[in-house]
Amino acid sequence: MSKARIGFIGLGNMGGRMTKCLVAAGHPVLGHDTAADRAAACGATAAASVREVVAGSDYILLSLPDSRAIEAVVEGPDGVLAHARKGQVLIDLSTAAPSSTLRLNARLAERGVSLIDAGVSGGAAAAEKGALTLMVGGDEAQVEAARWVFAPISHKIFYMGASGAGHTAKLLNNFLNAVSLAATAEVMVAGKKAGLDLQLLLAALNNSSGINFATLNRFPKIVDGDYLEGGLTGKLMTKDVLLYIDCARELGVASLNAAGPLASFGLGTALGYGDQISNRVVDAIGDMSGGVRLHTATGNKP
């Protein structure tokens, strides 16, 4: 087992679960979060500040909401850059703007610190089991050297290329996820209103050209009343779509399909579902379609 020390900043929905997996694999973790009780809850040793994590770690992992939060942790007056030392490795497991990642990579390199951007996919359920898929960017030799860090939290690692490539791949994935979830939610509400057997409809879709992650993995549960709570919220899904749009604009790619998920998850937030799992977008669409609920036990919303 490597003697290199691991620090983790951001112990929320995903970071906390990843930390638990690292600890369970025998790796002590020095953890910091704005909610002080989270470190103990996931088995980490609590650090009072980012500075303390940097001082006590060789590999510093981040799982933060967005690039603004990442930049504050890295570039803040008492942040990573202020206290980093040559040879440290920063692994950013957040969903972030690739342009920000590239800029931070350049700044960290000046201090002799390597940045690996590792977009994660699989949600809370995969994080709980240490079965995430990682899309990784950065220096290939550093990525190879960090595989022991990735092993307890992932079951598939895709090296996508140089700095920023991991976060770019993550945004592309999340955009497709948003499109398929929003579109499938609409289709399932339509199927309910048409009087179709929803399990039979899903079986037909999953053996036809409409098959996607939502039809395979989300809606077979949702139609039975299980919304798979604990995953990405509607507001965070909207954030990811907006990050994708910015990325597409910077690449000079026409973004013609973003209006649907933006409207759908925006509606969800407007109707009070924004802080709940993004799967609740189906209830927002149902609300606007006559109070429809897919679950047979609840039927239509009163």
**Largest distance between two CA atoms of the chain:** 64
Which member of 86, 156, 170, 239 is catalytic? 170
Backbone angles phi, psi at 29, to 5 degrees: -125, 135
Please say if 170 is a catalytic residue.
yes
Provide the CA 94 distance to its chain's centre, in angstroms: 6
**Residue 50, Cβ neighbours under 10 Å: how many?**
22
The identity of residue 111, as a single letter, is R
Q: Which pairs count as long-range contacts for 48-56, CB under 8 Å and 24+ apart, including other chains?
A: 49/78, 50/9, 50/76, 50/78, 50/79, 50/80, 50/83, 51/78, 51/79, 51/82, 51/83, 53/7, 53/8, 53/9, 54/7, 54/80, 54/83, 54/84, 54/88, 55/83, 56/5, 56/7, 56/30
Q: Which sequence positions are flagged as catalytic?
A: 170
